[in-house]
Chains A and B, each alone.
Chain A
Amino acid sequence: MNKVIHKKLNRSLGGSVVLFLIIGVFAFFMMIPLIYAISNSLKPLNELWIFPPRIIVSNPTLKNFNDLFNLMSDSWVPFSRYIFNTLFISLCGTFGHVLLASMCAYSLAKLRFYGSKTIFKIIVYSLMFSSSVTTIPNFLIITKLNLINNYLSIILPAFAAPLGLYLMKQFMESMIPDTLLEAAKIDGASEWRIFFTIVMPIVRPAWLTLIIFSFQGLWNSGSNLYIQSEELKTLNYAISQILAGGIARAGVGSASVVVMMVLPILVFIFSQSNIVETMSTSGIKE
């Protein structure tokens, strides 16, 4: 009943239509480059060079994708190796990040040890600068740890990404009632047991979010200083080499963009509601 009155008061039909038109237009503009990438990737050669260029493809073909795979398998390092590298780094890095960040978040949010508040403050500060400012010292640290040309040089820093810990800690703090943990403790459950059988199932949306963020970041990781040998490089690096070919490779280049964007977008579609739920607790409280 209330809701009906509320709608009548503050939601004019005209306003809704205007608002919908505005975001519809903007949403379309946001999608243009992606649509263009998809349409280009499906164009046969003669259509790529039609003047002026068109969005709609009259004879769609998968030739560009075919060419992409041929081009990649012609390279000195087999294409499958780049895929393996990227998948290995993404899966291991994501798994470790979710596990370690959740454990630490649980400790900071619920176990609250001596000094935990200060540590959380440092983590919030670390969100305020990007990791690029620490490239030089990190290169030295990785060298000293003997991790050059080792997957671990990408995986280990990914374990300790601050954003994931921050989101997880905020989520745990507002989603897990202390009384539940106390009850479990009285029943004699150990902290480890509580963590894996009570806490982790409750914070499912949060760790799905961490999985997605971490996976996206690692999946898109390109060339970096720590990996120099060609056979350890990532898919994104290999693909950016193709795109560097410029307009002459417009078709294959677009196909490669499509290949790279499909997975993150699909993952997001299936997990959108979980991410939004996690973000609901993400605010900075003073």
Chain B
Amino acid sequence: MAVTEKIGFKSRLAMIKKDQVGYLFALPYLILFFTFTVLPIGISIFFSLTDFNSISIRNFVGFDNYIRLILNDDIFIIALKNTLIFASITGPIGYLLCFFFAWAVNEIRPKLRAFLTLCFYAPSISGNAYLIWTLLFNGDSYGYVNSILLKMGLINSPIRYFHDPKYMMTICILVVLWLSLGTSFLVFIAGFQGIDKTLYEAAAVDGVRSRWQELWYITVPSMKPQMMFGAVMSITSSFGIGDVLTGLVGFPSTQYAVHTIQHHLQDYGGARFEMGYASAIATVLFALMLGSNLLVQKMLSKVGE
């Protein structure tokens, strides 16, 4: 026994020595990563249990912040509801759009494919170009959409798309979807290109008769790793919607019609300096993002098994 332990210890020392270079390569990145990503999560969870006001912590308040969020903060409930609506619509639809367009683009000849890829991907990298939507859907009759509808006689007076709660959610979802063909889209394009072509030939021999059948029986199963990664990208961004909406409708939005958890967090953290409470909001958002991601990963890993 003692002998094997000794060997184990020695070999572990040798392992660490052998690994020395590995640690050195990884260390600079990891120090920054832990400082700006891992450590803050811990701090945030700790703050959420206190009444930290950005200067000092006076009391440890346990779960009071969370209880207040759920029982005493009507605006938070609105924010939670809006966030879930945004996430459950823009997440899956954005994901499916990425998948469908990536597949469709790959069916096209390479030269045209590059151009179409650019058309779909350009909005997500164009900085604040989404603000153009405020000109297109501008609330007076100079707005492009309003002027067309007025001319066709469909409406009598211009619609204030970004200030009328009746339309705000819909129009914001539209803009967010417009922005959603981002990283996942490219991931899927690469995934489709990477599929072994001989699989399709074999399938054709085995009786697969249309490109739709190919999609279901061959493409989807071979794309599983990319689909899982794409899901992470789509889910994370769909829960984090906030700044785009502020750009479109301002902050706070009319009757909190598109107020999300992200906005609530900025409100309490950036304007009211109730850091303990804001940390509780951040922790809820963190849990929602991580939880739904892990859930979807688990579901996707079952596909085709």
CB distance from B132 to the nearest CB of A (A): 4
B44 and A282 contact, CB distance less than 8 A: no
Known pairs A52-B147, A272-B114; A279 contacts B186 (CB<8 A): yes
0/1 interface trace, chain B 34-46, chain A, CB 8 Å (1 if under): 0111111101100
A141 touches B36 (CB 8 A): yes
Binding stretch for chain B, among A62-70, A71-79, A101-109, A175-183 = A101-109
Q: Would you give the shortest CB distance from B171 to chain A, in whole angstroms? A: 13
Decide if A134 touches B204 in the complex (CB within 8 Å): no
Contact status B19-A236, CB under 8 Å: no
Judging by beta carbons under 8 Å apart, are A127 and B37 in contact? Answer: no
Q: Which of B29, B39, B209 contacts A9 (CB 8 A)?
A: B209
Cα A78 to Cα B39 with chains together (Å): 38
Interface SS of chain B: helix, strand, loop or mixed? helix
Complex Cα gap A190–B133 (Å):
55
Kindly list chain A residues whose C-beta atoms are within 8 Å of the C-beta of B125. 216, 261, 264-265, 268
CB of A156 within 8 A of CB of B36, answer yes
Interface bits B16-32 vs A (CB < 8 Å: 1, else 0): 10010111011011101
B294 within 8 A of A: yes
CB neighbours (8 Å) of B25 from chain A are 103-104, 106-107, 111, 191, 195
The answer to whether residues A160 and B36 also contact, given A103-B25, A283-B191 and a CB cut-off of 8 A, is: yes
Query: Do B226 and A283 touch (CB < 8 A)?
Result: yes
Judge whether A100 and B28 touch: CB under 8 Å: yes
- Whether the pair B142, A276 counts as a contact (CB closer than 8 A) is no
Determine the interface band of chain A, counting residues with CB < 8 A from chain B.
Answer: 35 or more
Name the CB-closest residue of B to A222: B128
**Contact assessment for A134 and B40 in the assembled complex, using a CB-CB cutoff below 8 Å:** yes
CA distance A219 to B129 in the complex (A): 14
Q: Contact between B147 and A134 (Cβ–Cβ < 8 Å)?
A: no
What's the nearest-Cβ distance from chain A to residue B251, in Å? 12
Cross-chain contact B126 with A260 (CB below 8 angstroms): yes
The answer to whether A283 and B147 touch (CB under 8 A), given A5-B204, A134-B282, A136-B44, is: no
Q: Is B116 an interface residue (CB 8 A)?
A: yes
**Contact present for B26 and A104 (CB under 8 Å):** yes
Complex interface: chain A residues within 8 A of B229 (CB): 282-284
Q: Could you tell me if B224 and A107 are in contact, using CB atoms closer than 8 angstroms?
A: no
Answer whether A136 and B293 are a contact pair too, CB < 8 Å, given A104-B29, A141-B40, A257-B131. Answer: no
Flag B287-303 by CB within 8 Å of A: 1 or 0 each.
Answer: 00110011001000100
B164 beta carbon closer than 8 Å to chain A: no
Nearest CB in chain B to that of A20: its residue: B108
| Chain B interfacial positions (CB closer than 8 Å to A) | 15-16, 19, 21-23, 25-26, 28-30, 32-33, 35-41, 43-44, 47, 101, 104-105, 107-108, 114, 116-123, 125-136, 138, 140-142, 144, 147-148, 151, 178, 181, 183, 186-187, 189-191, 193-194, 200-201, 204, 208-211, 214, 223-229, 232-233, 235-237, 239-240, 242, 247, 262, 265-266, 269-270, 275, 278-279, 282-283, 285-286, 289-290, 293-294, 297, 301
| Extra 14 A-B pairs, beta carbons < 8 Å, given A5-B204, A279-B226 | A6-B201, A40-B135, A124-B232, A132-B262, A137-B279, A254-B135, A257-B132, A261-B129, A265-B122, A272-B114, A272-B117, A279-B187, A279-B190, A284-B297
A interface residues, Cβ below 8 angstroms from B: 2-3, 5-6, 9-12, 15-16, 19-20, 22-23, 26-28, 30-34, 36-37, 40, 49, 51-53, 100-101, 103-104, 106-108, 111-114, 116, 119, 122-138, 140-141, 156-157, 159-160, 162-163, 165, 191, 195, 213, 216, 219-220, 222, 225, 236, 239-240, 243, 246-247, 250, 253-254, 257, 260-261, 264-265, 268-269, 272-273, 275-280, 282-286
**A-B contact list, 5 entries, CB within 8 Å:** A20-B108, A36-B144, A106-B25, A160-B36, A240-B247
